[in-house]
């Protein structure tokens, strides 16, 4: 069976992340991706994880258990990656789940401008062969604008420097999520 966008995001991360790598979870939420990343990088690696809701940090802290030491949880928007992740820190992978926290306040959503700031900061730090992945949920108010911003931003990245993939079930109802994967190419200057 074909994988869901969410499962495929994990497949794409698992293919490249090695123990000891430094990675980013740009939208911590309930901590599912933070835990997955923490297990992949292991105790020698580091996960920088961001969310603006106290509840997200509490849920993630609880979920992490033994994997907690390698995760740094920031109660801060991903627009602060530029200041919270050192500029010379090589980042192997980053993941976003855009939208709102399930079973929570549906008005607290990721936004086009801050998502763009985060993507700018991540691409500056991404290693060659590294991947930035976005799973875009866009059925809510404001979701379409963010979807368009992300697709335009990633679609405009130069082919010489990046491979950009989209993955979506195009015959499903109710706005199925879109996965975007940006991979930095060898010889990239950006």
Query: Beta 178-184 vs 71-75: how paired, if at all?
Result: unpaired
Residue 128: CB minimum distance to ligand SAM, A:
26
Instruction: Identify which of residues 134 and 157 has a Cβ nearer to ligand SAM in the complex.
Output: 134
Positions that interact with ligand SAM (CB under 6 A): 27, 29-33, 50-53, 56, 77-79, 97, 99-101, 108, 110, 114
> Cα separations (Å) of 75 from 3, 41, 120?
31, 21, 20
> From its phi and psi, is residue 107 left (phi > 0), alpha (psi between -120 and 50) or beta?
alpha
Residue 169: CB minimum distance to ligand SAM, A:
18
Please spell the DSSP secondary structure of 125-156, one letter per residue: HEEEEEEEEEEE---STTHHHHHHHHHHHHHT
Residue 85: CB minimum distance to ligand SAM, A:
13
Instruction: Identify which of residues 102 and 129 has a Cβ nearer to ligand SAM in the complex.
Output: 102
Residue 154: CB minimum distance to ligand SAM, A:
18
Residue 26: CB minimum distance to ligand SAM, A:
6
Instruction: Identify which of residues 21 and 79 has a Cβ nearer to ligand SAM in the complex.
Output: 79
Please give the backbone phi and psi of residue 133, each rounded to the nearest 5 degrees, phi first.
-120, 135
For 59-76, b where at least 16 C-beta lie within 10 A, e where not — what string?
bbeebbeebeebbebbee
Instruction: Identify which of residues 128 and 144 has a Cβ nearer to ligand SAM in the complex.
Output: 144
Instruction: Identify which of residues 27 and 70 has a Cβ nearer to ligand SAM in the complex.
Output: 27
Instruction: Identify which of residues 44 and 105 has a Cβ nearer to ligand SAM in the complex.
Output: 105
Structural contact between residues 150 and 78, judged by C-beta atoms closer than 8 angstroms = no
Rg value, the chain, Cα = 15
Residue of minimal CB distance from ligand SAM? Answer: 29
Residue 14: CB minimum distance to ligand SAM, A:
16
């Amino acid at each position: 069976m074909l994988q869901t966008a969410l499962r495929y995001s994990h497949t794409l991360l698992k293919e490249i992340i090695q123990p000891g790598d430094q990675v980013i979870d740009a939208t911590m939420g309930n901590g599912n991706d933070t835990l997955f990343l923490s297990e992949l990088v292991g105790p020698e690696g580091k996960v920088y994880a961001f969310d603006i809701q106290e509840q997200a940090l509490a849920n993630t802290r609880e979920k992490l258990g033994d994997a907690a030491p390698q995760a740094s949880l920031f109660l801060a928007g991903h627009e602060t990656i530029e200041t919270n992740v050192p500029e010379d820190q090589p980042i192997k992978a980053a993941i976003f789940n855009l939208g709102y926290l399930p079973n929570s306040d549906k008005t607290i959503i990721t936004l086009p401008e801050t998502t763009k700031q985060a993507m700018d900061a991540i691409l500056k730090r991404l290693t060659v062969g590294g991947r930035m992945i976005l799973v875009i949920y866009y059925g809510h108010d404001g979701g379409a604008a963010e979807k368009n911003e992300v697709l335009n931003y990633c679609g405009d990245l130069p082919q010489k420097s990046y491979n950009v993939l989209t993955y979506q079930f195009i015959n499903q109802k109710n706005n199925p999520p879109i996965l975007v994967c940006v991979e930095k190419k060898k010889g990239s200057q950006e």
